[in-house]
Structure 1
């Protein structure tokens, strides 16, 4: 029977070891959120089928690590990440020009995540996936509220070398009072949702927080790159 004591954070060594574990999970979750953005996104544009197939190694790695008590938490996290990878490969590979179905496709793992949480199985991976999805949903909400959806569609239909004028128009939209106000509101929302669970000192909530808070970093980085490109 698999050892699931990490879910509650109890009976797993000293308090210091627990604290180190929670911060390690936070850092690992942040790293995994970055992989689809900086590695999968360029890959999937040219090799969508390969990107989907690469879900299999992620699942296998997660399952192998999950079977071993000493690496179970990392296997759990990678299994949750595999949902994000698969959904991203499907959407950005074939449907990236249609923002309306972005969130539905990214949500394909939600029924499984909810079932897992209900059964008390895979809390770290499931909450990582849901945290990542929440960050995606709030980013999409910003695009809709600030009127960036048309720019999204245009960017997905042109070669990267022709994207600069579209990016400049989008940045001008972001810099309006309306765009700035929405950015402040949604960043504070993400901060609140991401920081509050850190007080629990439970590993699965640190995975959730890492995914949510990294959304702010990634979005800010892209905004900075687009502004100074």
Structure 2
């Protein structure tokens, strides 16, 4: 479950990101495919848990398709769009249903929120807006400027604080045996992996 959660957070980022940039409608429609596949898995007792997990993943895919496809120029809308599945998660969890998928989604949403908070604290939002309006080959100077702010004492302090928070929130649930906690912990810890990969890519741009 931990490996599956890490996979569903990290790997699709590098599939959905280019797809949603050039074919946002296709990416959005793929949400229906994920939902259909999750339903097929959900129906069978032997694969029910994986259908549950994939259902939660469908919310992250849907939010990513909407935001990065049509709204990526406005960072203020990022978290509200990512929270599109929050009412459904609250409803199903209150009924004790879909625990694996919805806790996975909540872990992903928490990681996204922490990353966004860092962007605001370190004043990276102007760089975000600039990046969304240039071609990839023109991104290097913007990334360099953003890195210079990350590497300040203020940027380093908040990086350490928020990484510590993600590690704590991601690792503590792994002490429990229930699969939904492992899905939650895996999705939170995957935030560190994805953010780290983007940081390395920015340094090498």
- Structure 2 residue ranges without an equivalent (≥5): none
Alignment deviations for residues 52-83 of structure 1 (CA, whole Å, 9 cap, x no partner) = 00001100000000000000010000000000
Aligned-CA RMSD value: 0.6
Partner of 2:195: 219
Q: Which one has a bigger Cα radius of gyration?
A: 1
Q: TM-score, normalised by structure 2?
A: 0.99
Q: Point out 4+ residue stretches in structure 1 off by more than 6 angstroms.
A: none
- Structure 1 residue ranges without an equivalent (≥5): 1-24
Partner of 2:135: 159
3-state SS of paired residue (1:107) = helix
2:78 pairs with 102, 118, 140, which one?
A: 102
1:109 and 1:180 map into 2 onto residues whose CA distance is 32
Partner of 1:77: 53
1:173 has 2:153 as partner: no
Query: Contact (CA 8 Å) 1:171, 1:227: kept in 2 or not?
Result: yes
1:207 and 1:157 map into 2 onto residues whose CA distance is 35
Question: How do 1:9-158 residues align onto structure 2 when only pairs under 5 Å count?
Answer: 25-158=1-134
1:184 and 1:148 map into 2 onto residues whose CA distance is 17
1:83 and 1:35 map into 2 onto residues whose CA distance is 16
Q: TM-score, normalised by structure 1?
A: 0.88
